[in-house]
Amino acid sequence: MSVSGSATVRNERGIHARPSAEIAKEALKYKAKIIITYDGKTANAKDVLQIIILELFSGVTVQIIAEGEEEQKAFDSIKELIEREYKFD
């Protein structure tokens, strides 16, 4: 089984390096396989560079698929991070 759904990027600057690092760090906490897809491209949510390569600008909607142990918790946490408005100094 797997859990899947969409998330919309709300951060004004999109998902750049720092948010990508936070997403990957969170994804590494789970044994579940977590995939993010956008515009025909697929990224392993545990890989910062793969997330950056997706070029996730503000307002785009991505698909998230989590499969395996704690898949619902993994999906929920990654969705929250993608939809977060980051405030970096």
Of 4, 5, 14, 16, catalytic: 16
Other beta carbons within 10 Å of 85? 11
In whole angstroms, give the CA distance from residue 71 to residue 14. Answer: 25
Active site residue 16: yes
Q: Which residues are catalytic?
A: 16
